Chain A
Amino acid sequence: MSLFRKIHDWLNVRLGVDDLVEKQLTGYLLPANINRWYSLGSVLLFIFTLQVISGVLLLVYYVPDADKAFSSVTAIMNTVPYGWLIRLCHVVGSNMMVLVLILHMLSVLFMGSYKRPRELNWLSGFVILTLVMAISLTGYLLPWSQLSFWATTVATNSAGAIPFVGSYLVEFLRGGTLVGPYTLGRFFALHVAVIPIGIVAMIGLHLFLLERIGVSAPPFGLPDTKNPWKGDRFRHEDHPGGIPFFPNYLLSDLTSVAIYLAFFLLILFFAPNMFLPKDAFIPANPFQTPAHIKPEWYFLPNYQTLKIFPNEFIGLMVQGVGITFLALLPFIDRGREQHPLKRPLFMVCAVGGILLWIGLMIWGHYS
């Protein structure tokens, strides 16, 4: 008997490995008409893992002190062996995480997978998006460059528009009246400890819900489940006659991860400065405001919305209403139909919303 066989048998009698593999991998069936868009979740898991690994490696050399942060990042980029690769992985990866997360949410939107009984999947995903935005914002300050300092000043300033509590909120976020060493300490703690724990917990919840409720079938094709949700009792949506998760769909997931990796490496090696403008390499100077400071691309629509309205509070309110509407969409859009072409009102609103979001982003970039 081979050693591998012995280990397998030893584990099997204790943990029931064969049964676990059958239930969770080879016997776990997915909808027969499942498409490539479903693998974006796995791509996101891969990106998040890469972010954690590169983040931990950066922590070895990064110094969260306003006097040393910029020079420590400069040293990572120039003197630490492969430090440039690790930092660029983290920077490009953070942008990719937001991009892929948005694509994942759009696919869920257009395929109607957010509809009942998956309201909680959508909500937990929405919380993940918010946390990813928060981790990106807090991480932006850490290099203590002109870009990070002034972008954080602009971002935290927006909170001041909230009536009554605005000024207290700004002071709470900054740890003082202005962005300074205390802000760096707070953002660092949020970026490396609080928010990642929150993201891991929410990913856990998201996957638990996915596993518990079952994978939704795409609206393109015949329904394959014998257990559709009726609202009377809990039913796990299974897909008899579907394709096994292992090896079939796992290989599909890995193909998507490899395609993503090619795209990610292409940016990392050939256009890393796409996400690192010149001001990212100038140390923070609280006495010199750069001429054209802009937030990251995914915050540009929010930034431009604040600029459009004569009052920042109105701008914040409009954004708040929009975000709340999107978060509560499964409770508002209660129709059963999932096919996007059979939901004309949804299509008009979704396409209009996306165009508006892109338009605001472009406007924000050039304003």
Chain B
Amino acid sequence: MKRLHNISFSRLIGVVITFLLVSVAPTLAEGDTVCIQCHGSQTGRGLAPVKPWQGSIHAANGISCNHCHGGDPTDSSNAMSPQRGFLGAPKELAIPDVCGRCHIGIKADYLRSAHGRALGKGGPTCVTCHGSHEVQKVSIELINEKNCSRCHSYDRARIIRGAMQQTEATLVALSQRLEEFKGRGVDTAGLEKRLFAQRNSYHSLFHEVNPAKITAESAKIAAELNLIKGSLDKIDAEHHQRKVIGAFAVGAALLGALLLNLLRRTYS
């Protein structure tokens, strides 16, 4: 009887949990993984990663919890099962490997750098500078006094930032111009690939701490960016020329209308 009572009680708990999950589910966005559905309905530590992730570049590009933490995002009862590859929160030494599964080249840059060489000896991991769930698109702003002086003085970092500032500004400006050109129907695929390659080269410098090398590499990147800018300027000039021709065409049509109207009047 007691056993029966226990079974009934556990069933009741099961029913209550199912009811709670079902009643919470409609409030969540369709297409969310079970990780987000479950953590989104929690409070405190369980809920903490959800919002930062939702605003991250990972979320914007469809990189979800399971891509870093493993597990099965489609099966709520086995989502955190090690048999389904669940890793949990990676330990400090494992962090570069977890991030490096996708960011292969950046992991190599990091491991070669002074930061990477100090891994496990008090040096920073990827998440120290980039954050974990709230990770954003990398920019020069990441090198700042507040960030760097958590571990060391900002002096050398300031020199590095100064050397990279112009490249960053050019990269941002070219990205915006490419986006604007794309919106006008210009085929930017080739130029975007070239810019992507230069942005990668530039980002690899983020893990470099030698100012001389950064200056030399920045010059190379700047030269390539100048070529991309030249291509965009050429397209701009062509579009400007189209407008000049367009102005003449509109003028010719109006002149034609005027002449035709005058001719009509001569007949009437």
- Do these two chains interact? yes
Q: Which residues of A contact B (CB under 8 A)?
A: 74-75, 77-79, 84, 243, 247-248, 251-252, 254-255, 258-259, 261-262, 265-266, 268-270, 273, 276-278, 280-281
Q: Which residues of B contact A (CB under 8 A)?
A: 182-187, 242-243, 245-247, 249-250, 253-254, 256-257, 260-261, 263-264, 267-268
Complex CA–CA separation, A226 to B186 (angstroms): 60
The 8 closest A-B pairs by CB, nearest first: A269-B246, A258-B257, A262-B253, A251-B264, A78-B187, A261-B253, A258-B256, A255-B260
Query: Which of B182, B253, B268 has most chain A Cβ within 10 Å?
Result: B253
- The answer to whether B264 and A276 touch across the interface, beta carbons within 8 angstroms, is no
- The answer to whether A281 and B250 touch across the interface, beta carbons within 8 angstroms, is no
From the candidates B183, B247, B263, name the one contacting A281 in the complex (CB within 8 A). B183
- The answer to whether A269 and B257 touch across the interface, beta carbons within 8 angstroms, is no
Q: List 28 A-B contacts (CB under 8 A).
A: A74-B185, A78-B187, A79-B187, A84-B242, A248-B268, A252-B264, A254-B260, A255-B257, A255-B264, A258-B253, A258-B257, A258-B260, A261-B253, A262-B250, A262-B253, A262-B257, A265-B246, A265-B253, A266-B250, A268-B246, A269-B242, A269-B250, A270-B243, A273-B183, A273-B185, A276-B185, A277-B183, A278-B183
Complex CA–CA separation, A187 to B256 (angstroms): 38
- The answer to whether A251 and B260 touch across the interface, beta carbons within 8 angstroms, is yes
Q: Report B94 CB to chain A, min CB distance, Å.
A: 32
Q: Report B242 CB to chain A, min CB distance, Å.
A: 6
Q: Report A338 CB to chain B, min CB distance, Å.
A: 24
Known: A78-B186, A265-B246. A243 touches B261 (CB 8 A): no
Known: A77-B185, A84-B185. A265 touches B260 (CB 8 A): no
CB-defined contacts of A268 to chain B, threshold 8 Å? 246
8 other A-B residue contacts (CB within 8 Å) besides A259-B257, A262-B254, A269-B247:
A75-B187, A78-B186, A243-B268, A247-B267, A252-B264, A259-B253, A259-B254, A281-B183
Query: Which of A243, A269, A270, A276 has most chain B Cβ within 10 Å?
Result: A269
Complex CA–CA separation, A280 to B246 (angstroms): 23
Complex CA–CA separation, A164 to B209 (angstroms): 70
- The answer to whether A77 and B187 touch across the interface, beta carbons within 8 angstroms, is yes
CB-defined contacts of B264 to chain A, threshold 8 Å? 247-248, 251-252, 255
Complex CA–CA separation, A199 to B182 (angstroms): 35
Q: For the complex, would chain B's binding face be called helix, strand, loop or mixed by DSSP majority?
A: helix
- The answer to whether A251 and B246 touch across the interface, beta carbons within 8 angstroms, is no
Known: A251-B264, A251-B267. A270 touches B185 (CB 8 A): no
Q: For the complex, would chain A's binding face be called helix, strand, loop or mixed by DSSP majority?
A: helix
CB-defined contacts of A281 to chain B, threshold 8 Å? 182-185
Complex CA–CA separation, A281 to B186 (angstroms): 8
CB-defined contacts of A247 to chain B, threshold 8 Å? 263-264, 267
Q: Report A261 CB to chain B, min CB distance, Å.
A: 4
CB-defined contacts of B267 to chain A, threshold 8 Å? 247-248, 251
Residue of B whose beta carbon sits closest to that of A74: B187
From the candidates A251, A261, A280, name the one contacting B263 in the complex (CB within 8 A). A251
CB-defined contacts of B254 to chain A, threshold 8 Å? 258-259, 262
Residue of A whose beta carbon sits closest to that of B243: A269
Query: Which of A77, A79, A258, A268 has most chain B Cβ within 10 Å?
Result: A258
Q: Report A90 CB to chain B, min CB distance, Å.
A: 13
CB-defined contacts of A266 to chain B, threshold 8 Å? 246, 250
Complex CA–CA separation, A171 to B267 (angstroms): 58
CB-defined contacts of A259 to chain B, threshold 8 Å? 253-254, 257
Complex CA–CA separation, A311 to B46 (angstroms): 41
Complex CA–CA separation, A308 to B154 (angstroms): 59
Q: Report B90 CB to chain A, min CB distance, Å.
A: 29
CB-defined contacts of B247 to chain A, threshold 8 Å? 269
Complex CA–CA separation, A276 to B183 (angstroms): 8
Residue of A whose beta carbon sits closest to that of B267: A248
- The answer to whether A273 and B256 touch across the interface, beta carbons within 8 angstroms, is no
CB-defined contacts of A280 to chain B, threshold 8 Å? 185
CB-defined contacts of A261 to chain B, threshold 8 Å? 253, 256-257
- The answer to whether B185 and A265 touch across the interface, beta carbons within 8 angstroms, is no
Complex CA–CA separation, A146 to B268 (angstroms): 53
CB-defined contacts of A255 to chain B, threshold 8 Å? 257, 260-261, 264
CB-defined contacts of B257 to chain A, threshold 8 Å? 255, 258-259, 261-262
Complex CA–CA separation, A281 to B263 (angstroms): 44
Complex CA–CA separation, A276 to B185 (angstroms): 9
CB-defined contacts of A84 to chain B, threshold 8 Å? 185, 242
Complex CA–CA separation, A12 to B250 (angstroms): 40
CB-defined contacts of A276 to chain B, threshold 8 Å? 185
Complex CA–CA separation, A255 to B253 (angstroms): 9
Q: Report B235 CB to chain A, min CB distance, Å.
A: 9
Q: Report B29 CB to chain A, min CB distance, Å.
A: 12
- The answer to whether A273 and B184 touch across the interface, beta carbons within 8 angstroms, is yes
Q: Report A60 CB to chain B, min CB distance, Å.
A: 18
CB-defined contacts of B246 to chain A, threshold 8 Å? 265-266, 268-270
